[in-house]
Chain A
Amino acid sequence: MSTTSAAAGETSAAAGGGDGGNGRVPISDRARAERRLGWYLAGPAFVVMLLVTAYPILQAFYESLFKYRLTDPDAREFTWLNNYVVVLTDPIWWRAVGVTVLITVITVAIEAVLGFALALVMHRALKTLRPILRTAILIPYAIITVVSAFAWFYAFSIDSGFVNSWFAWAPGISEDTNWFGQFGTSVFVIIASEIWKTTPFISLLLLAGLAQVPEDLQEAAKVDGATWWQRLYKVTIPNMKAAIMVALLFRTLDAFRIFDNVFIMTQGANNTEVVSFLAYRQTISRLEIGLGSAVSVLLFLCVVLISFLFIKLFKVDLASARGER
């Protein structure tokens, strides 16, 4: 009997966000019944989730143990973890990881600042202006990524683009600037389009966080004579920390899986290849199912690692982000 209650206590501590406590609180029958009902309600969704996410991941892992080429089915061969050795010892993989991390860090950092600024504008905007402002800010996010990638590609391309002729006065830009001719400028355009496209997403999440900051705290700080900056640093940001972290986590995961922009703009030329593009190339264009699956599984592990780091290091508490505590 006592073991059961201890286990239940641990579960409740874990569900509470792991905030310490001895967890020896005995739970009532009602709480237990509610928990059971919770499982009944969420169970079917959980099973569907397993089917649509776990199954493909396991299948990919299984395939990654083979040397298997779609146009050479007879030569399919079980090679244990050899594909992982090939991938992890290859400079192409590490270069792709490096480029992906670079794009992720820069875009998320800039988007966080820009998105926060936009959220503040939306939050404080006049009531009549707010709907229009929100719509205007959200437009880039509503555009399909491939379409926005094409728009940016054509704007910067050397033959049909207008950027060169509009900005020829700026230092370093001339009629003959080939944006997709070298690494630096290619990555610049990729990052710029990514920021343009997804800043609205982050600002929307932050706007929700801003709305949660209690107005009386702001009032109290104001009465105490705090300046706008002091209120921002001491009241607003600490009170929406969870919302900020969730926004950053979602965006980081999203940015790490970047594919469309690179696919459309450079096709991975000039060393702009990212991890998901590498997986695409091995699986779809080389038809090397085994090797491609290994890259995909590693990409998945990277994403899991990022989530883990965010949740552990930044102590993101999804429950409090939802306003449950």
Chain B
Amino acid sequence: MGRRTVSIAAAAVVLAGLAACGGDDSTPTLTWYINPDNGGQTELAARCTEAADGAYQIKTSLLPREASAQREQLARRLAANDSSIDIISLDPPFIPELAEAGFLAEIPDDVAEAVTENVVQGAIDGATWRDKLVAVPFWANTQLLWYRKSVAEAAGLDPENEPVTWEQIIEAAQSQDKYLGVQGIRAEALTVWINALVTSAGGEILDNPEAPADQVQLGLETDAGRAAAEIIENIARNGLGGPGLANEDENASMLLFQGDRGSFMVNWPFVWAATLAGVEAGNLDQSLVDDIGWAQYPAVAEGEDSRPPYGGINLGIGAFSEHPDLAIEAAQCIVTPDNQAYYMVTNGNPASNTEAYDDPDVQETFPMADLIRESLEAAAPRPQTPYYNEVSTGLQNTWHPPSSVTPDSSPEEATVLITEVLKGERLL
């Protein structure tokens, strides 16, 4: 009896296995490597699988949380010609490196035209390398100036109606004995901040980002580079970033801003959703939400426009994918304005397609939706170079901790280090 049961069970397992194989053969499975989020990309994968009606199915595979760790894993897999990579959620600064290495499949011209329609310029720039669209713009991120209305009012500032400068918010925080929320941690966040300061001052970190490694010129030893260093120095020396400035990332600065000594903060829009969630969970007071205002990223010089940071995720197609055509089709499905609006409302990540901002749900969830769209139009990407990692790490190594930054030495130190590293003469 025991033996019979076993053989029946074995036969059943074999049959089930055969059946499973047969089922998989009929529908190609696309693997979409996603960055961690609140489940939005998995939901989009399910939606597009349904919409494909059997033409393909999308399965998601999770990448590490840190952007740099995502790049490491993707570069290693792609260098090994991994054919399981069909669609990739890519952080824009790393796109040139993967594109230059031939790791991204080409986007046909007609598709490129279709997926850039109504898309903000920053997102198109971020997905372009050597004048060709190499990824499909998905969601686009930008930083805003968040402020406590009570503090701004007490300091005599009206950021909602008049653009403010870094100098003004530094003085305001100082006069009210409050902290400024900035990102001083030795990580990508610091590069984002430096880039925003330099570009807002009218400069560029790299003068010729598309040049080969040994010919790249840095634009830090300029008035713009020095102005950026001066702002960081000012905030750090006066203790305005709080005691934890040297370890402060986006989340830590949000907590600082939500605390008793919060005043102004530059940060991505996720802080809005996170604050609302905090109120709902009973950790934060509704009065805090009522006190929060938002405005365009602060300018460096009065009367000049600021260049807010640009971030987000674009969709790359793996060069070694077995179904590149289907992957491109799937990517187009993922980035429809409807799907972007859904993603923005549920996951708090802003759409790159301007049409999505007209969605009533988006308007209701994000009272600052129009400001985000405007900020995206003005945003400046980080240097578009295949050597972005070297540039970014070099900056972080020389401009950290923020209290060590000075306009006289920091731009020069960064220039010397990054130039030598790119020439292969130094470690990093």
Q: Tell me the A residues contacting B by CB distance below 8 Å.
A: 67, 70-73, 86-87, 90, 92-93, 157-159, 176-178, 180-182, 267-270, 278, 281-282, 284-287, 291, 295
A267 to B185, CA, bound (A): 10
A177 to B243, CA, bound (A): 7
Most buried by B among A71, A181, A281, A286: A71
Q: Which residue of B lies closest to A77 (CB)?
A: B424
Known: A158-B247, A287-B75. A181 touches B401 (CB 8 A): yes
Known pairs A73-B79, A270-B401, A291-B427; A181 contacts B244 (CB<8 A): yes
Write out the residue numbers on chain A whose beta carbons fall within 8 Å of the beta carbon of B90.
none
Interface residue range, chain B: 20 to 34
Q: Which residues of B contact A291 (CB under 8 A)?
A: 424, 427
Contact of B426 among A67, A90, A295 (CB under 8 A): A90
B100 part of interface (Cβ distance < 8 Å):
yes
Please measure, in the bound complex, the distance between the C-alpha atom of A93 and the C-alpha atom of B393, giving whole angstroms.
16
Is B427 a contact partner of A92 (Cβ separation < 8 A)? yes
Q: Check B389 for interface membership: any CB of A closer than 8 A.
A: yes
- Across the interface, which residues of A come within 8 angstroms of B103, CB to CB? 71
B98 at the interface (CB under 8 A from A): yes
Contacts of B401 in A (CB 8 A): 181-182, 269-270
User: 3 closest pairs, A vs B, by CB?
Assistant: A176-B243, A158-B244, A269-B186
Q: Is B79 touching A70 in the complex (CB atoms < 8 A)?
A: yes
In contact, A278 and B246 (Cβ under 8 angstroms): no
Are B72 and A159 in contact (CB-based, < 8 A)? no
Chain B positions within 8 Å of A72 at CB level: 100-101, 386
| Cβ contacts A to B, 26 pairs, < 8 Å | A71-B79, A71-B100, A71-B386, A72-B100, A73-B101, A92-B428, A93-B427, A159-B255, A176-B243, A177-B243, A178-B244, A178-B246, A178-B247, A181-B243, A181-B244, A181-B401, A267-B186, A269-B185, A269-B401, A270-B246, A282-B428, A285-B68, A285-B72, A285-B393, A286-B390, A291-B424
Does the CB pair A286–B186 fall under 8 Å? no
The reply to whether A86 and B424 contact each other, CB–CB distance below 8 Å, is yes
- Is B47 at the interface (CB under 8 A from chain A)? no
Shortest CB-to-CB span from A288 to chain B, Å, is 8
Not counting A270-B246, A281-B428, a sample of 14 additional A-B residue pairs whose C-beta atoms are within 8 angstroms of each other reads: A73-B79, A73-B101, A86-B426, A90-B426, A158-B244, A178-B244, A178-B245, A178-B246, A182-B246, A268-B186, A282-B427, A284-B72, A285-B389, A286-B393
Query: Considering residues A176, A178, A278, which has the most beta carbons from chain B within 10 angstroms of its beta carbon?
Result: A178
Tell me the total A-B contact number using a CB cutoff of 8 A.
Answer: 84
Within 8 A of A (CB), among B67-108: 68, 72, 75-76, 79, 97-98, 100-101, 103
**Inter-chain contacts of A181 with B (CB < 8 A):** 243-247, 401
Residues of A within 8 A of B79 (CB): 70-71, 73, 287
Q: B390: which A residues are within 8 A, CB to CB?
A: 286
Q: In the bound complex, what is the Cα–Cα distance between A13 and B426 (angstroms)?
A: 47
Is B252 close to A, CB under 8 A?
Answer: yes
B53 at the interface (CB under 8 A from A): no
Tell me whether A71 and B98 are in contact in the complex, defined as CB-CB below 8 angstroms, given that A159-B255, A282-B428 are known contacts: yes
B425 part of interface (Cβ distance < 8 Å) = yes
| Residue among B75, B393, B427 making CB contact with A71, cutoff 8 Å | B75
Q: Contact flags (1/0) for B384-405 with A, using CB distance below 8 Å?
A: 0010011001000000110000
A273 to B245, CA, bound (A): 20
- List the A side residues contacting B393 at CB < 8 Å: 281, 285-286
Query: Given A269-B186, A285-B389, does the pair A70, B427 have CB atoms closer than 8 Å?
Result: no
Compute how far the CA of A157 lies from the CA of B251 in the bound complex, rounded to whole angstroms.
14
Q: State the CA gap A267–B393 with chains docked (Å).
A: 12
Tell me the complex Cα distance, A287–B94, Å: 13
B427 to A87, Cβ gap below 8 A? Answer: yes
B224 within 8 A of A: no
Q: Which of B167-201 contact A (CB under 8 A)?
A: 185-187
